[in-house]
């Protein structure tokens, strides 16, 4: 039976994930203690981190190194994040998306999709794919963004992502059915698949965030963001949600 972390352990998971996102380096108990976020002894922090490893939330890549979050930890982190009121992005990011949409024909669903994919890809530093339901002509942006990240120094990660990128158009309908499973389209609905939650084995080391929205002409669009599990979830979820809500507001 899965053991849930205590409040202190949950706070530890959040701190470790956010530090790992920032540095891409395993996080040691010393780094946690030096952060000043916990009014407990270093030995207690070490013991709590060891217990979190036993529970499957952390793993140690090297015997002498710090620990990194597992997919289970990221899932807990994301679920906790989604419970918070309003995941927002900066005014500057919102303005860039608004300005870009103001320069296109907002009656053209393809133009809207391309613009959203391009700017969400630029701002997130990940791969973003925009699709219109029942069409095999997805617009893709940002594959090269991923190959600058430390996670993609491994050949199998590059190969898997490239194959996923190349074949996304033909498998979109199947992927969409797996993601949404017949659920009705809601304005703020977002799906987040982490690690092995992804049905496609080629991206089971990654995270996929997807949102749907209305487009002119009775079309339905979607944005799919793909990147490493070590991503800035707060920013990327905010970008996807803001893009989807902005597209919905165009059709109203």
Domain ranges in the chain are 7-82, 91-251
For residue 8, count other CB atoms closer than 10 A to its CB. 13
- Tokens linked to 130: 């925009």
In this prediction, residue 180 carries a pLDDT of 78
Q: What is the pLDDT of residues 149-193, one digit of tens each?
A: 999 988 999 999 999 999 988 888 878 877 877 565 554 579 999
On the question of pLDDT at 63 being above 70, the answer is no
What is the tens place of the pLDDT at every residue in 184-220?
Answer: 555 457 999 999 999 899 999 999 999 999 999 999 9
Residues 104 and 107: their CA atoms lie apart, in Å, by: 9
Radius of gyration of the chain measured on its C-alpha atoms: 19
Instruction: Tell me the three-class secondary structure of 101-160, residue by residue.
Output: HHCCCCCCHHHHHHHHHHHHHHHHCCEEEEEECCCCCCEEECHHHHCCCHHHHCHHHHHH
Please report, rounded to a whole number, the percentage of residues in the chain having pLDDT higher than 90.
69
What values do phi and psi take at 120, rounded to 5? -65, -40
- CA dihedral (249, 177, 84, 91) in degrees, to 10, reads -40
pLDDT at 182: 58
Give the tokens for residue 12: 């530890």
Lowest mean pLDDT segment, chosen from 54-58, 136-140, 141-145, 162-166: 136-140
User: How much is the mean pLDDT over the chain?
Assistant: 90
Residue 81, CA distances (Å) to 12, 14, 29, 55, 114 in order = 15, 10, 24, 21, 28
Residue 10: what pLDDT? Answer: 94
> What digits encode the pLDDT tens for the residues 222-249?
999 999 999 999 999 999 999 999 999 9
Residue 83 CA to residue 179 CA, distance in Å, equals 20
Strand partners of residue 131? 222
pTM of the complete model: 0.92
Same fold, 7-82 and 91-251: no
Q: How far apart are CA 77 and CA 69, in angstroms?
A: 10
Which of 227, 248, 246 has the alpha carbon at shortest distance from 236? 227
Burial class (CB in 10 A: 0-12, 13-18, 19+), 48: buried
CATH 1.10.490.10 fits 7-82, yes or no: no
- For residue 187, the model assigns a pLDDT of 47
Q: What is the mean pLDDT of residues 80-92?
A: 87
CATH number for the domain formed by residue range(s) 91-251: 3.30.450.40
Q: Give the 3-state secondary structure of residue 166.
A: helix
CA distance 141 to 100: 15
- Residue 141 pLDDT > 70: yes
Question: Would you tell me how many other CB atoms lie within 10 Å of the CB of residue 101?
Answer: 19
Shortest CA distance to 246 belongs to which of 230, 218, 228, 223? 223
The C-alpha atoms of residue 200 and residue 196 are separated, in whole angstroms, by 8
Cα–Cα dist 131/186, whole Å: 17
pLDDT band at residue 40 under the 50/70/90 scheme: confident
Q: What pLDDT sits at residue 183?
A: 62
pLDDT score recorded for residue 135: 85
């Amino acid at each position: 039976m899965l053991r849930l972390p205590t409040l202190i352990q949950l706070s530890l998971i959040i701190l470790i994930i956010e530090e790992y996102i920032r540095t891409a380096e395993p996080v040691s108990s010393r780094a946690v203690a030096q952060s000043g976020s916990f009014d407990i002894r270093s030995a207690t922090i070490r013991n709590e981190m060891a217990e979190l490893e036993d529970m499957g939330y952390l793993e140690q890549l090297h015997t002498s190194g710090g620990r990194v979050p597992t997919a289970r930890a990221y899932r807990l982190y994301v679920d906790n994040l989604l419970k918070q009121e309003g995941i927002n992005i900066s005014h500057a990011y919102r303005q860039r998306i608004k300005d870009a949409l103001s320069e296109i024909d907002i009656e053209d669903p393809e133009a809207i999709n391309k613009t959203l994919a391009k700017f969400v890809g630029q701002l997130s530093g990940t791969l973003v794919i925009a699709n219109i339901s029942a069409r095999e002509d997805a617009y893709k942006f940002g594959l090269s963004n991923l190959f600058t990240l430390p996670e993609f120094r491994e050949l199998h990660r590059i190969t898997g992502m490239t194959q996923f990128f190349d074949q996304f158009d033909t498998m979109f309908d199947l992927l969409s059915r797996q993601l949404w499973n017949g659920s009705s389209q809601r304005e703020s609905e977002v799906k987040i698949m982490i690690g092995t939650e992804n049905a496609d084995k080629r991206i089971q080391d990654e995270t996929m965030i997807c949102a749907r929205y209305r487009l002119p002409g009775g079309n339905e669009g979607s944005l799919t963001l793909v990147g490493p599990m070590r991503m800035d979830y707060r920013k990327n979820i905010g970008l996807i949600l803001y893009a989807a809500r902005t597209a919905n507001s165009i059709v109203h």
